[in-house]
Amino acid sequence: MSKRNVLKIIAFLVGLYFFLEYILPEKVGGEFDSYEVGSPVCVEKDGKKLQFYVGNYYKGRGIIGRMVKSSGKWKKDQKPCLQRSLFLKFDQYGLIEPDVAITPEGLTLLYLGQNEKEPVLCYAVSSDDGQTFKKKGPVVISTNDVFKTFENAPNGQIPDRIKSFAADYKGGSWDVYLFTMTYRVWHAAGPDLKHLTLDAQPLVSTALLEKSPNAFDVYKEGDAPVLVYVMDREIVEFRQGGGNWTPKSWKAPAGNGTNDTIYAGGRMDTSDGTLYLGTKKMQKARPIDSPYETTLCAVNLRDKGDGEPLAPEMTVYKKVGASPRPTYLSYGTEWAGKFLTVVGSFAIFIAMINLMLFHGKKIYQSALNYNAPVGEEKLPGGGAPFRNFLKNAGYSAVFLIFLAVMIVCALKGQTDEAKGTIWKTSFDFLFNAIQAPMGSAVFSMITFYMISAAYRSFKVRSLEAGFLMAAAIVCMVGQMPIGELLASLVPESWKLLQLPWLSSKLLSVLNAAAYRAVLIGTLIGSVAISLRIWLGLDNSVYSSVD
Amino acid sequence: MAPENKKRSLWDRIQFCDPRILYALFAVVVIGFEMIQIKMPVPNPIWVGKLYDRIESLPPDKAVLIDCDYGAGNRGECEGQFKAVIQHLFARNIKFMVVTWTTNVEGQKLGRQVLDEVAKKMNKVDGEDYVMFQAIVNAGGVTLQSLAKDIHGFVVKDINGRDLNEIPMMKNFRSIADVSLIYRVAYSWGGIPWIGFVQSVYGTPLAAGSAGIESSTAYPYLDSGQLCGLLAGAAGAAAYEKRVMEAGIVNETGIGTKTVSVQSFATLFVVVSILISNFAMFMSKWQSKRGRA
Amino acid sequence: MDHATLPIIIFILLFSGFIITMIMLTKRGKEVFLRPINGLKVIDDAIGRAAEEDRPIMFNLGFDDLSVNLFCSLAVMGYVVRKAAKLSMPVYVPLAQPLAYAMAEEFWKDGYAAMGKEGMFAVEDCLRYMSSNQSALGAGIAGWIKREHVGANFMFGTYGFESMMLAEAGQQAGAFQIACTPSFYQVPFFMVSCDYTVFGEEFYAAGAYFNRDPVLTGSLVGQDYSKLVLLILIVLGSLLLTIFQKTDYLRLLLQW
């Protein structure tokens, strides 16, 4: 098999790998929570404690996992019970903040699905105690008995964007509490999650705390709702009395600053007054690992008085952030990125060697000429060897000297210790006084070249050229202050003659249309070439000779 | 083509004049108007206003990601765009991260000079109010995706060599989910990778500041909503600086405002020279027709 | 994109289907018509002219790093080098990216070797890595063009603001210039300074014009069918959106 065919096969296999990684739906298994865990919610069903939590295999990629408590120990399911859907829009980017309720169908899990727009409150139902769930779509809330999902409002008619929520099912009826971006809390109730009616007024109409909580939950004491706000280092419960919301809070034990434990997710288990919490703590880890140590833990609030320090009493599951365990095809992308970085970095040496060879050769030949006897010079010119040397290899010598100086100053002058030293001063001088002005000067040459080119070539020899000239003048002058000045002389009713307006219309309508057309063609062309290279149909990438 | 006949008419001599004459005249115009700064009304493009309004309404609990990728050559246009926006962000106490790239060292050096100068004037602290770091470029989209997914994992340290995990500000900003706006300042807004790999995937608003000549390719993306604001050249910088001055954030004119009035007359010179060249062409043709007649 | 959505997968499969089908048909002998592109037709003339005037040829690969655009430029460079080698002419290739240098060197050497002119010109004299800084690149190439009094200047690839410098330097040196670039925003600069300018998808068609390989020509036709589909969708979508502005179900369809 020829070398070229081997290369083609390798190229095809590599391309196939990335193509499949791109188009195949992601199915996460195994260590789906290797990066972080959080947002636990606990429920007791048939004497068994079930805990659902959010596991991340990558920052921002949440999946719901399940744990079961048996014989006093929590046992984690190896596979997740609910994942994001790639081809449905509501939870394309992950699932967060689950809440669970026991319903006649089994278990109903509500969650916030993340997507390209706003989080959407969705739900799924399980009949096997939460081992697997079947998605039912978004929860539908209405203010006027029209229970409908809208394109821009998948949850129906909510006055504000949802930040968090809490749900409860009792006596055949749902109570859903929505914590919105404006810190208000709304209540919706209904017989099922597709027919919830929003109250006319919010339950809480102002911000109870200055900052928005990391987690939010609601439970009932009798018929009265109790709001639970989980903050960074504090947990606050609000109870309504006399039209006001009275807080009762617990603070986290004193920490040591940047390494403090932060409370993240949290849901109350009202059966025993336990608050299941997710915590986060910074740790020094290898750069590619998650820097957090995350924990699922629990604390009993009933025994605690107002203001008592609150330390988690039971750690359910501790996860020291590890390298994200990608899905079955994602290893390659990460590896390819690193490979390209390394290869690209070494390629700089090839370029440097070429530069050295070229300029070194010039200097060497000039030096030979310098020492050559009269009449035997290898390069043109004679008589004044040093002048000839400067003429033939002066620039090369300058280049190599400045290259060496810049490299040394950059290496020595960019460390913290170098502040105030000659290296730092030299590097700053070389950059600010030489490189930057030279870059600006060379860029300015373009303007001069443009003037001579335009003066020479921009001639109106046909009707189309005339239109082009007119459009060019309108665009040039319209974007400048002089255009504004001229526009101020034109009345508003003659807006069509105002150059800035005309210029913006030309650019945003006509120019945009032409640019889009060319861009479509260009990009399809590049797709075709990429396809040919991938399938090995194009030999030109391997050699110029077939 | 210039007629080869030695006896050229006046109009031919004007049409095909030595370009050095044009260069000299142009230099005189630019230097002259640079010295005699004539105050001109600053343009007010709609997309500058949209960016300003967006920054005014940014939530304080998220950061802005600024891609500082301009060079010494386009400093005249891009530096004003960068400076005015960071002044606005500082005034609103919105934290921001400045990312620079290994492929453009000038962007880092120039950006840092501006950033340090503005931060000192506005009493802002590196690490608490802003952070600057440098990212390695692998291949366009892959780099941006990696940055968007996990900033700490991809960048690791800031330009001062501090671990991002130790920087107070960076505790809360770990990925694109914590970013409320991306603002790219570069010669070419070159946003197709940003749009394809970040904006369209995560929905984070993207704005651009670019050289005037490159801004024409940004207009299709403005109308479609993929770009939420555009500062085009020195005019865009001047417009933003004007808004920032009117808001009382700064009380001195910026580089954009100083440049745009000179640019205005330079543009006028180009237009006039093209018109003269065309007039000379028509006169030359008319003369030769008359001569034949 | 993080991951393909359903419409993206459909379009990928559809466009790939068009391209592969047309490749298969042209391989089986289907005649395809390729519109002549003036800028590509005159490459041979340009090389011949430079050879007559005994002035070197310069081939600029642009600012591309390892990418599809670079491969297209290299394919044309290979053709130009072979033609120049036949006439014993040097081809100067300034480079802006180190990775591009490695590939260009292979193509350049192979081109001369194919015509039996291996070793005729020194690689390090003809292939030079200039700088990855656009200002330095433009100034360096402009100087090189003027010093060597280049006779034919080919600019194939992606360019930034240095395009004006290269084109104008070549114009002042009296070189025959052909520019071929997918960079839309540099086209005006090339238009005023070059003899021929090719842009957009014609840049990707350049390879097919020289060797008329059925694979390449079939792929061009497949591209056109893909564009036709997109055009129909755009027109249909615009019409439907205009007529049925407030209808929900059509909105959903149009925004899928």
Any B CB within 8 A of C255 CB = no
d(CA A216, CA B159): 38
Whole-number pLDDT of residue A330: 65
CB-CB contact of A118 with A161 (8 Å): yes
Closest CA of chain C from A405, distance in Å: 17
Helix (H, G, I), strand (E, B) or coil at A60: coil
Nearest CA in chain A to C190: A453
8-state DSSP, A259: T
**Nearest Cα residue in chain B from A117:** B203
Find the CB nearest C161 among B187, B200, B201: B187
Q: What's the confidence (pLDDT) of residue B8?
A: 77
CB contact under 8 A, C204 and A525: yes
Nearest to A525 by CA among C254, C180, B201, C33: C180
pLDDT band at A288 (very low <50, low <70, confident <90, very high): very low
Question: Which one-letter DSSP state was computed for residue C33?
Answer: -
Per DSSP bridges, beta strands A162-170 and A173-180 are: antiparallel
Residue range A25-328 in CATH 2.115.10.20: yes
Q: Which residues pair with B210 in a beta bridge?
A: B232
Contacts of A58 in chain B (CB under 8 A): 149-150
Is residue A307 less than 8 Å (CB to CB) from chain B?
no
Complex confidence, ipTM = 0.88
Which of the pair, B165 or B82, is modelled with greater confidence?
B82
Which parts of chain C are beta strand (E)? 57-60, 91-95, 127-129, 152-156, 176-181, 196-199
What confidence score (pLDDT) does residue B80 get? 93
Q: How confident is the model at residue A111 (pLDDT cuts 50, 70, 90)?
A: very high
Instruction: Verify whether the Cβ–Cβ distance B71 to C134 is below 8 Å.
Output: yes
Residues of A in contact with B61 (CB under 8 A): 211-212
pLDDT higher at B191 or B214: B214
Q: Output b/e per residue, A202-224; b: 16+ Cβ within 10 A.
A: bbbeeebeeebbbbbbbbeeeee
The helix/strand/coil state of B229 is strand
Q: Which two tokens stand for residue A275?
A: 């608050």
Quickly list H helices, A109-230.
none
In C, residues 143-202, which contact B (CB 8 Å cutoff)?
Answer: 160-161, 184-185
In chain C, domain spans: 38-208, 223-256
pLDDT at A199 over 50: yes
> CA-CA distance, B19 to B155, in Å (whole number)?
49
Which residues of chain A neighbour C114 with C-beta distances below 8 Å? Answer: 544-545
Chain B closest-CA separation from residue A380 CA (Å): 31
Residue of A nearest to C227 (CA): A521
Contacts of B197 in chain C (CB under 8 A): 1-2
- Rounded to the nearest 5°, which phi and psi values hold at A44? -110, 125
Residues 25-64 of B with CB under 8 A from A: 26, 40-46, 61
Q: Which of A415, A452, A469 is the best substitution to test chain B (most B C-beta atoms within 10 A)?
A: A452
Subunits adjacent to chain B (3 or more Cβ pairs under 8 Å)? A, C
Stretch 76-95 of chain C: residues touching chain B, C-beta under 8 Å: none
Question: Nearest 5°: phi and psi at B16?
Answer: -110, 40
pLDDT at residue A273 is higher than 90:
no
- What long-range pairs does C40-45 form, CB within 8 A, spacing at least 24? C40/C180, C40/C198, C40/C202, C40/C205, C40/C206, C40/C209, C40/C210, C41/C209, C42/C178, C42/C195, C42/C196, C43/C76, C43/C79, C43/C80, C43/C83, C43/C154, C43/C178, C44/C83, C45/C176
| Contact state of B19 with A456 under an 8 Å Cβ cutoff | yes
pLDDT at res. A14: 85
Bridge pairing between strands A224-230 and A94-103:
unpaired
Average pLDDT over residues A344-368: 83
Q: Is A412 exposed, middle or buried (0-12, 13-18, 19+ CB in 10 A)?
A: middle
**pLDDT class of A287 with cuts at 50, 70, 90:** very low
Write out pLDDT tens, residues A216-249. 999 988 888 999 999 888 889 999 888 889 988 8
For residue C179, pLDDT beyond 90 = yes
Please state the φ and ψ torsions of residue A423, each to the nearest 5 degrees: -65, -45
With a CB cutoff of 8 Å and minimum separation 6, the contacts of A196 are A139, A140, A141, A142, A156, A174, A176, A188, A189, A190
CB contact under 8 A, A452 and C78: no
Q: What is the mean pLDDT of residues A141-160?
A: 86
DSSP per residue, A437-478: HHHHHHHHHHHHHHHHHHHHH----SHHHHHHHHHHHHHHHH
Q: Does domain C38-208 have CATH number 3.40.50?
A: yes
Confidence of residue A189 (pLDDT cuts 50, 70, 90): very high
Exposed/middle/buried for residue A373 (C-beta within 10 Å: 0-12, 13-18, 19+): exposed
Task: Count other C-beta atoms under 10 Å from residue A243's C-beta.
Answer: 5
Count CB neighbours of A483 within 10 A.
Answer: 26
Q: What percent of chain B clears pLDDT 70, i.e. is strictly above it?
A: 96
Q: Is the pLDDT of residue A374 over 90?
A: no
Residue among B188, B201, B217 minimizing CB distance to C160: B188
Note the pLDDT tens digit of each residue in A494-505: 878 888 888 888
pLDDT tens profile A409-418: 988 887 667 7
Check whether C51 has a pLDDT greater than 60.
yes
C2 in reach of chain B (CB within 8 A)? yes
Q: Shortest CB distance from B103 goes to which of C1, C132, C135?
A: C132
What number of C-beta contacts closer than 8 Å exist between A and B? 179
Q: Which of A72-86, A505-519, B120-134 has the highest mean pLDDT?
A: B120-134
Residues 6+ apart with CB under 8 A from A218: A166, A168, A175, A177, A185, A225, A226, A227, A228
Partners of C95 on chain A (C-beta within 8 Å) are: 351
Phi and psi (nearest 5°) for A8? -65, -40
Cβ within 8 Å of B, A 229-288? 258, 282, 284, 287-288
pLDDT at site A18: 82
> Which residue, among A267, A351, A271, A261, has the nearest Cα to A312 in the 3D structure?
A261
The predicted model gives A172-184 an average pLDDT of: 91
Distance, CA of A388 to chain centre: 58
Contact A529 C72 (CB under 8 A): yes
Q: Cα-flanking dihedrals φ and ψ of residue A186, to 5°?
A: -110, 150
Q: pTM for this one?
A: 0.78
State how beta strands C176-181 and C152-156 pair.
parallel
Which of C1, C133, C185 has the CB atom closest to B214's CB atom? C185
For residue C66, give every residue at least 6 positions away whose Cβ sits within 8 Å of its Cβ, in sequence order, or none.
Answer: C97, C99, C100, C103
| Angstrom distance (rounded) from CA B232 to CA B78 | 9
Interface of C with A in 144-203 (CB under 8 A): 161, 164-165, 167-168, 171, 182, 184, 189, 191-193, 199-201, 203
Residues linked to residue A134 through DSSP beta bridges, in sequence order: A125
Q: Are C5 and A28 in contact (CB under 8 A)?
A: no
Q: What is the model's pLDDT at position A207?
A: 86
pLDDT tens column, B105-145: 888 889 999 999 999 999 999 999 999 998 877 556 777 88
**Six-digit token string for A528:** 């075709």
Q: Does the CB of A452 have a partner CB in chain B at under 8 Å?
A: yes
C-alpha distance from B87 to closest chain A C-alpha (Å): 23
Residue C44 CB neighbour total at 10 angstroms: 13
Q: Which own/partner pairs from A413-416 qualify as long-range (CB within 8 Å, at least 24 positions apart)?
A: A415/B161, A416/B160, A416/B161
Q: Which residues of C touch A454 (CB under 8 A)?
A: 192
In chain C, the residue whose alpha carbon lies closest to the alpha carbon of B18 is: C172
Q: How high does pLDDT run on average in chain B? A: 87
Chain-chain contact of B260 with A480 (C-beta, under 8 angstroms): yes
The Cα C40–Cα B128 span in angstroms is 57
Q: Which residues of A touch C135 (CB under 8 A)?
A: 438-439, 442-443
What is the C-alpha separation between A256 and A131, in angstroms, rounded? 40
**Structure confidence by residue, pLDDT tens digits, C107-165:** 999 999 999 998 899 888 899 999 888 888 999 999 999 999 999 999 999 998 899 99
Q: How far is B170 from chain C (nearest CA, A)?
A: 24
* Closest to A21 in 3D by CA, of C9, B136, B149: C9
Model pLDDT, residue C143? 93
Do residue B197 and residue C134 have CB atoms under 8 angstroms apart?
A: no
How far apart CA A16 and CA C16 sit, in angstroms, is 14
User: Which chain A positions have a beta carbon within 8 Å of C82's beta carbon?
Assistant: 544-545
Phi, psi of A103 (to 5 degrees): -130, 170
Using a CB-CB distance cutoff of 8 angstroms, which residues of chain B are in contact with residue C2? 145, 197, 201
Residue C53 is given by DSSP the state T
State yes or no: pLDDT of B30 exceeds 70: yes
Confidence check: pLDDT of C1 > 50: no
Mean pLDDT within C54-79: 90
Alpha helices in A146-244 (DSSP H): none
Chain B hits for A59, Cβ within 8 Å: 149-150, 153, 174-175, 177
User: What is the CATH code for B46-253?
Assistant: 3.40.50
Distance of CA B249 to the CA centre of its chain: 20
- Neighbours of A (≥3 Cβ pairs closer than 8 A)? B, C
Give the separation between CA A347 and CA A364, rounded to whole angstroms. 25
Tell me the average pLDDT across B150-155.
80
CB contact under 8 A, B165 and A291: yes
Rounded average pLDDT over A21-26: 74
pLDDT at A266 over 70: yes
Considering only CA atoms, which of C182, C154, C183 is closest in space to residue C166?
C154
Domain boundaries, chain B: 10-36+261-292, 46-253
Q: Which chains does C contact via 3+ CB–CB distances below 8 A?
A: A, B
Mean pLDDT of B198-212: 88
Please report the residues numbered 317 through 376 in chain A whose beta carbons come closer than 8 angstroms to any beta carbon of chain B. Answer: 333, 336-338, 340-341, 344
**How distant is the Cα of C21 from the closest Cα of chain A, in angstroms?**
12
Cβ–Cβ of C114/A524 closer than 8 Å? no
Residues of C in contact with B74 (CB under 8 A): 161
Least confident of A290-304, A378-392, A468-482: A378-392
pLDDT at B200 over 90: no
Chain B residues whose CB is inside 8 A of the A409 CB are none
C206: pLDDT confidence band, cut at 50, 70 and 90?
confident
